Structures are given as structure tokens and as C-alpha cells.
Structure 1
Amino acid sequence: MRRLPALSASLRLAALTAIAAMALQACSPRYNWRESSDNGAHFVVLLPAKPSSVTREIDLDGPRVEMSMTAAEVDGVTFAVGTAELPDAAAAERALAAMRTALLNNIAGQAQGAPAWPGKTAGLDHSMDLEARGVARGRPLRLAARLASRDRRVYQILMVGEEKSFTDENLETFFSSFKPT
């Protein structure tokens, strides 16, 4: 008879251990916000996970430039900041319009209203906020972006992904944390 209570105690201990592990896992943050920047330190921003970076040549309606993109993805949403330096500051407005068109084309999207994302735009020469909904690879997507310039540098600050994973808190944290340097 003693074996049955001992076995029962072992099962209880295993069940309690499993419940404790699940509780700890539930408490671990999926959004582990951390300060990040590009390799050239042209900005600082909070990203929700360890970022990765890539640089590639793009056409911004005239000038071909190297754009560096620093991004992190959590819960089906990509948080990214891209930056490039133009040959001439006079090309900034045209470059921002080209970025807007490319973003909409990437998700076969339509712009939605006139958003005003959180965060300061003081110190930027040009700034435009964009919200769009579209589809890529058969998935419905939402895009929230701020396209901005300062002198010859252009910035693309964006969140793109599944609608259900967008929260006001994440929009606030991400867009408010962006600072050009």
C-alpha cells in the first residue's frame, strides 16, 4: 500500500513541476524590447527581439543607393528601420515617395486614411506616415510606416505583419523610440 501513495506523490510533484514551468513560460515576455541601431549608428530604436541587418542597393526614383535595414520579428510582425544616404538632399521628397510606392506594391496594398503615428518628427526635414492593408503570399497584412528624411539621409520606420498581432502598445513603443542620430 505504501507504493501507491509514493507514486501518487511523484505524480503530484511532476504535475506541480509542469504547472510551474508553464506559469514561468507564460510570464516570459515575447516582446523583449532592446535598444538597437544600424552599424553606422544613424539612428537608435527599440526592437522587440534580437535584430538582424542587411544592406542592398535600391532605386529611389533616380538615385541608386545602398539601404541598410535592421529588423526583428515577433508574433508575425516585422519591426524594421531602413536608412540610406542620398547624393543630394534635394532628392529626399522624391525618394520618400518612391519608398511609399514600393511599400504599397510589396503588399499589393491600399493606403488607409491619414495616420499620425506616435513619436517626434522634430528635427526631420520631411516626414510622412502611412497605414495600409494588403496581401503578400496569400496572407492579409497590415503596414504602419513612417518615411522621413534629414539632410541627405532617408529613413523607413515600419511594422508589417498580421493584423491580430498589432497592438497600440507596440505601435507606441516602436515609433516613439525612433531617434535619428
Structure 2
Amino acid sequence: MATIAVAAAACSPSLNWREVHVGELTTLLPCKPDRATRPITLEGETVNLEMAGCEAAGALYTVSRIQMEDAIRAQAIMIRLRKASLASVQAGSIHPTANSGDEHSSFDVQVNGRDPAGSPVQAHFKWMMQGQSAYQVAVYAPSLQAGQVEGIVGGIRFQ
């Protein structure tokens, strides 16, 4: 099913799906990503956030990774990242998806909220653990379409 959605989304002239690697995670983005690593503070702790992201067809697509010295610290950071991400979009309603797993190793939600300018935004977040790294895959748009989410989330795999 996800393959069909990815294939359908790939036919859109504004989307050019390609593989992107961030740490051990590989997924699909619909455009050539910009990359950056920057320090962020999560509940008083400063960590380095590695990110790849791009904008296409009215949506912002991002893949982020925070690597820690051990898996227990990475799990704690993933929980803090989840809180900060939901706060950043002023999440008013949060809807876990059917495949969300458990909140300690993998968790998917779709939210309705507001962007920093106060405009309505929908976001789909997926947080995952892999070894000593916490990952976040996200899509933000005024109104999310299934192909936008399935393309990036359905293409996730670990090396």
C-alpha cells in the first residue's frame, strides 16, 4: 500500500523523490535537501541536531538525528525532542497513527496546530530510536495530503 502511494506521489511533476541518508536512516524526500548541523537546547541540555530538509509542493519535509553516547540517553532525548516539536507547532489536537508503535522506540502522530506566524498547519511526525541515535521525520503543510506523508514515512529503513 505504501509503495502505491509513493509511486503515485512520485508521478507528481512538482515532486522528485530521491533517497536521503541521515546517520543510519534512509528515506525518500521529494526534493534536493539542504543539510545542516546545529546545537539545540532541549529542556536545558544542549545537543547537536543533524538535519536534512527541503520544501516542495507547499510542504516542508525534514529528517533529523541526535546522536548520544548511549541508547538510554538517546531515548530520553527523543522524548524531549517530541515535546519540543509538538510545542513548536502549538499542537492543538494530536492523533497517533495506527502504526505508531510504542512511545519509547517509535511513535507517529499527526497534529493540527499553528506555525510560528500563527497560520494553521498540519504536521506528521515520526520519532524513532536506532542504537545511540534519536530520529525525527516530519512533514509540515497547511493541509497534509496522504502522498506527502507516505512518501517520506513509507520509505524509511535503517542501514
Alignment-mate amino acid for residue 139 of structure 2 = M
Aligned residues: 146
Q: In the alignment, what sits opposite 2:152? A: 174
Q: In the alignment, what sits opposite 2:14? A: 30
Q: Which of 141, 155, 162 pairs up with 2:142?
A: 162
Query: Post-superposition shift, 1:94?
Result: 2.1
Higher strand content, 1 or 2: 2
Alignment of 1:92-171 (within 5 A): 92-116=74-98, 126-136=105-115, 137-163=117-143, 166-171=144-149
Which one scores higher on RCO, CA 8 angstroms, separation ≥ 6?
Answer: 2
8 Å CA contact 1:104–1:111 kept in 2: the answer is: no
Q: Deviations over 1:90-122 (max 9, x none)?
A: 12332122111111111111242221359xx7x
Moved over 4 A (4+): none
Confirm or deny that 1:48 pairs with 2:30.
Answer: yes
What is the CA–CA distance in structure 1 between the aligned matches of 2:78 and 2:109, rounded to whole Å?
Answer: 11
Task: Please give the TM-score of this superposition, normalised by the length of structure 1.
Answer: 0.72
Higher helix content, 1 or 2: 1
Q: In the alignment, what sits opposite 2:5? A: none
Give the share of equivalent positions with the same residue, in percent: 25
List gaps (5 residues or longer) in structure 1. 1-26
Go from structure 1 to structure 2 and tell me whether the alpha carbon gap of 1:28 and 1:104 turns closer, same or farther (over 3 Å shift): closer
Go from structure 1 to structure 2 and tell me whether the alpha carbon gap of 1:81 and 1:132 turns closer, same or farther (over 3 Å shift): same
Task: Please give the TM-score of this superposition, normalised by the length of structure 2.
Answer: 0.81
Go from structure 1 to structure 2 and tell me whether the alpha carbon gap of 1:64 and 1:50 turns closer, same or farther (over 3 Å shift): same
Alignment-mate amino acid for residue 57 of structure 2 = D
